[in-house]
Structures are given as C-alpha cells and as structure tokens.
Amino acid sequence: MHIETTAGELRKALKIVEPAVVTRSALPILSTVLFDGATVTGCDMNLQIRADFAATKASGKAALQFFQLKRIVSALPMAESLCLASGSKSGAGRVTLTFSGGCYDLLSMPHADFPALATPPAVEEIPVPDGFTRSLKAVRAFISTEETRYYLNGICLSKNERGVPVAVATDGHRLGAHETGLDVAGNPILPHMTVAALCALPNPTHCAFVVRREGKGGDDKASVPTWSRFRFPGIELVSKLIDGTFPDWKRVVPNIEADHPKMTLDRVETLAALRRLSSSPLNKSVMLAAEGNIVVACRTSADEDMRGSERLAGASVENWPGGFLFCFNGSYLRDLLIGHRPSETVTLTGQSRGAPCVVTGAGNDYVTVLMPMRSEDETFARHSLGLFGGGKLSAVA
C-alpha cells in the first residue's frame, strides 16, 4: 500500500466512517478500517460506511487500527502532507506513517479478513428527496432504547393515513411522524446507529432497499426489507435493517376534531421557560394550566423544597373556557418543541385529560403525540394561575 494525502483529507474521511467502527470487540478486525486506494471503509457487521478522500498517490490495500490512526492524524495540522506505506522497510504486517518530522510504524491486519456488507449491484436505486435527513433528525429523539421491544429501536419509513411517506419513531410514551417524500415499500426500520450516521451526513442523493420475498404474492406483506444502501457524493452507507414488524402507529394518533380543546404555545418562549424550571432537581412532570387568557407552566420538586411557575405570555387556549390543564414529562415536551423547529408556534390538542395529546407545528408535515402524566399537585397549578391574575382552575374529567 502507498497513499500520499494530507492530514485534513484523511481526518475528514475517518470522521465519516467512525460510526461503523467498533470501540471494543472480541474481533480486533472490527476496530480497523480498510484502505483501498483513496477509499477508507469501516464496518461493524451491521453498518458499513465507505468514504473517498483526495490523494496525490493511492494504491494497494491495508487494514489499520482506527483509533490509533485517528489520534495521530487529529494532532497534525490540516495542511500537513503525510504518507502511508507498506513494504520491506516497515516489515511484514506493518504500515509506516510519515510526515514532516515524524515517523510511526503501525500494525496492519490482513485486509482479506476485513468484513464486507455487499448488497446486490443490480438493486434499483431511487432518488432521495431533499429534507430526508431533516425528517430523521426530527423524530430521532423518540427512538426507544428498550431492548425487549427491539423493533422500536429505530425509525420506520411508513405512510400516514393520507398515504404520504413519513419517518416514524416511538418509545411508547411519545411518537413523532415527519413527512419524508421517500416512498419505500415494506415499512423498513432503520436501526438507531444507522440513523445516527445518516444524521451526521448531508442529505443522501440516492438509496436502495434489498427485499427478501416471503410467502406467495407480490404485495408489501410478502416483501421484507433486509438491507439499505444510501449514496452521497464520495460516500456510501450500507446497513442491515431491523428484522421485525413496526406497530400500527396510526392507531395511536387520536382523531382531532375542531371543537377539541387546544393550547397554542410560543415555541421559543416555552423552551426557555422549561429550561429555567429544570434548573433545579425537580420531578419529571410539568403542568400547563390555563384560565381565560392566562397560561402558566409550573413544576414542583420531588420533596417540595422548591416550586416554580412562569406565565407564558405568547400562549392561548381554545374550546375550554372553564379551564385547561395538561401534565407532561418535561424532558419529553422539551424534545417535542425542539423537533418542531423552525415553527414559531406549536398547538397541543387533546380529547380530554389523560388522553394522548397531538402536537403540531405551523405546517402539517410533522405530527407528534405525547402521553400525559397524572397530575399530583393541581393545587399549585391553581395557585400559579392566581398569582398571574387567573381565576379558579376547573376540574376536568
């Protein structure tokens, strides 16, 4: 192998493939990256990322320890020229890294042992619409980390009730569905590590899904996606898909009518209030209470040594003249508000207290559902409304 490039080019390529490199493994080869000319590849047996880099000379193959190489290259100036070469001088199973004033002998593993996730080259590729990565980022926070329900440990590419392609994720307490424009059959589930890698890259240009046929017939139920491939300029990402069935998430989304109670929040104002209310070790719940044109957010600490409430001046309510009270997990609500960026306002709509709440932004391409918590201190909510001139909070069934 002989490669001549710059530290900046190599550092950029190593950063791209890093999500596919195993930190600790019983198989040392999984902690290496494969150099093949001016291409570097990382693979952990489930995810493979290949990246091209600019080089004045590039030939041969070698598998090098990723983290060892990354630490050296990261400490060099971006414009520093370097050379990776194997040969008689470096010895068998070694590669020499040289640059101005430095020389390192690095361990090289047999490149034939490096794993590869190869999809059939004849798989049809489809263009990826702009905004696909933005959709993944919007619902990524809702991916479940519960191992028993492994099919929730990723994002499902599904369709909503209108037949519009969406990216969906849920952990059982909250759900997010964002329109993608990418029409894929079979409801493939992208694993969370693949999602993390995609979110760190620009929007892909093309993608393909490898489908395994099961049973008879050509309908979607007989087609099980097993692999995915995403292409970018100079980058290719190949990933296994989660082998499972995503739940029928559309049944969880409540049917919202025009006369259902609604609360409209200023997204930035509410986020700032939640951050301040979370500045002390409080309990998880946050209450949103309203009376007339007064809307407040309030929290109490678990041992009640601190209470906090803030009026949300940019908030309003509809269809609930007798009073309004929601109680949510504060962290979940904060994630929803962040995901609805750049919308200036968000609207919370619920059929009744205790029912799932639908959260929408100014547009209709992103819908989230949040399960409420049981309110344990409605007295403080009434007190908070009184502080800001509100009336008595009505009891709602």
Domain ranges of the chain: 2-113, 126-251, 262-387
302, 293 in Cβ contact below 8 A? no
pLDDT category of residue 80 using cuts at 50, 70 and 90: very high
206, 126 in Cβ contact below 8 A? yes
Fold match between domain 2-113 and domain 126-251: yes
Written as six digits, the tokens of 301 are 């600490």
pLDDT category of residue 226 using cuts at 50, 70 and 90: confident
**How confident is the model over 349-377, as pLDDT tens digits?**
987 777 889 999 877 688 899 998 876 66
pLDDT category of residue 394 using cuts at 50, 70 and 90: very low
What are the residues whose beta carbons fall under 8 Å from the beta carbon of 191, sequence distance 6 or more? 46, 47, 153, 154, 239, 240, 241, 242
pLDDT category of residue 393 using cuts at 50, 70 and 90: very low
Out of 3.10.150.10, 3.90.650.10, 3.20.20.70, 3.30.70.1050, select the CATH number for domain 126-251. 3.10.150.10
| pLDDT beyond 90 at 261 | no
**How confident is the model over 268-300, as pLDDT tens digits?**
999 999 998 887 665 678 888 888 788 899 887
CATH number of 262-387: 3.10.150.10
Written as six digits, the tokens of 357 are 């709440």
**What is the rounded CA–CA span in Å between residue 321 and residue 323?**
6
Out of 3.10.150.10, 3.65.10.10, 2.60.120.260, 1.10.3720.10, select the CATH number for domain 2-113. 3.10.150.10
CA distances from 148 to 140, 194, 226 (A): 19, 19, 20
- For residues 130-158, average pLDDT: 94
The kind and range of the H/E element at 273 are helix 267-277
- For residues 77-105, average pLDDT: 86
Residue with the larger pLDDT of the pair 212 and 24: 24
Nearest to 296 by CA among 304, 288, 307: 288
**How confident is the model over 3-16, as pLDDT tens digits?**
999 999 999 999 99
Look at residue 248 in the predicted model and tell me its pLDDT: 93
Look at residue 397 in the predicted model and tell me its pLDDT: 31
CA distances from 227 to 19, 50, 77, 111, 360 (A): 17, 16, 38, 24, 32
**What is the rounded CA–CA span in Å between residue 73 and residue 82?**
9
What count of Cα atoms within 13 Å lies in the side-chain half-sphere of residue 380? 19
What count of Cα atoms within 13 Å lies in the side-chain half-sphere of residue 109? 16
Look at residue 396 in the predicted model and tell me its pLDDT: 37
**What is the rounded CA–CA span in Å between residue 121 and residue 124?**
8
